[in-house]
Amino acid sequence: MKHCLGLLRMALLMTLMLLGLERPAIGGGEPPPVTTGGSTGSTDAATSPAGPSVSGNSSGGFGRDTIMPELPPKMPEEDALAADERLDASFAFERLKLLEGTWEGTAGGDGDAHAAMVTWEVTAGGTAMIERQFAGTPDEMVSVYHRDGDDLVMTHYCAMGNQPRMRFDPGESASNLYTFRFNGGTNIGKGATHVHAGTIHFVNANEMKAEWSVYAGSKRVGTNLFELRRKQGS
C-alpha cells in the first residue's frame, strides 16, 4: 500500500514538472530576493556587486573614499614694512618728539666707541626738534628736525664745518626705524667728508640707537653708531 502511494506521488510530481508549475529546489536554483526595511525587491547592501559605500569608520573618522572638505587658502602674512610705508611726516615727527630728554651711552665707529651724551629738545612752539651731541665739548654738534610740507627734514650742523641736509624716507622706514637720505647741503666741496645718511631706531621707551654713514664724496668711509639709554628722571 505504501509502495503504491509513493509511486502515485512521483507520478504527480512529474506531471507538475511537465506543466511548469514547480521547479526543483536542488542543483543551482535561484534564491528568492531578499527584502530589507519593508521595500520589496531591493537587495541588501552586503550583496550589492559594488559593495557598501564608505563614508566613515566606526570611530567617526574618515574612510578611504571620504571626500575631504577643501580648506581655504592660507592668507599671506601681512608685510609689516608695506603697512608702515603709510608713515607720513606728521606721524614721524610726533614720534620723534617723544625722544625729548637726556640720553647717555656710547658713540663711535670701527671699534672706537667712547662715552656720549645726547639731548633732545622740542622748541619753536613744537614745530622743531633739536638734537645736541657732545654738549660743551669741541665736538659739539646740533641737528634740527622739522616739517617741510608733507616731508620731515633735518639739517646737521657738523663739527667738520659743513651742514648736510637729509629727508625722511617713509618707503624705507618702519614705525620704530626711521631712515634719512642725503638731500644736499652747504659747505660740502667735491670729495669732502660729511655725514650722508642715517637711521634712528626706537628700541623701546628708554633705549635707542642711531647709525650715521660718513662719506667722502660719493664713497662711504665710515659709520658713527650711537647706543643710548634715557637718563633716569629726564
User: Is the predicted pLDDT of residue 145 greater than 60, yes or no?
Assistant: yes
Of the candidates 147, 203, 214, 205, the one whose C-alpha atom is nearest the C-alpha of residue 174 is: 203
In this predicted model, what pLDDT tens digit does every residue of 40-91 receive, in sequence order?
444 444 444 444 443 444 444 434 444 444 443 433 333 333 444 458 999 9
Q: Predicted confidence band at 233 (pLDDT cuts at 50, 70, 90)?
A: confident
pTM of the model: 0.64
DSSP 82-107: HHHTT--HHHHHHHHHTT-EEEEEEE
Domains of the chain: 84-230 (2.40.128.20)
Q: What is the pLDDT of residues 151-179, one digit of tens each?
A: 999 999 999 999 999 999 999 999 999 99
CB 151 within 8 A of CB 167: yes
Q: What percent of the chain has pLDDT over 70?
A: 63
- Share of the chain residues as helix, strand and coil, in percent rounded to the nearest 5: 20, 40, 45
Find out whether 53 and 64 touch, Cβ atoms under 8 Å: no
Q: Is the pLDDT reported for residue 139 higher than 80?
A: yes
Beta bridge partners of 217: none
Distance CA 98, CA 46 (A): 78
Residues near 196 by beta carbon (within 8 Å), at least 6 away in sequence: 164, 182, 213, 214, 215, 220
Beta bridge pairs of residue 119: 102, 132
Mean pLDDT throughout 197-213? Answer: 97
Q: Which residue has the higher pLDDT, 46 or 10?
A: 10
Where b means 16+ CB within 10 Å and e means fewer, 129-146 reads bbbbbbeeeeeebbbbbb
Nearest to 123 by CA among 93, 92, 103, 151: 93
**Distance between CA atoms of 143 and 102, rounded to whole angstroms?**
15
Write out the three cell numbers for 4. Answer: 503504491
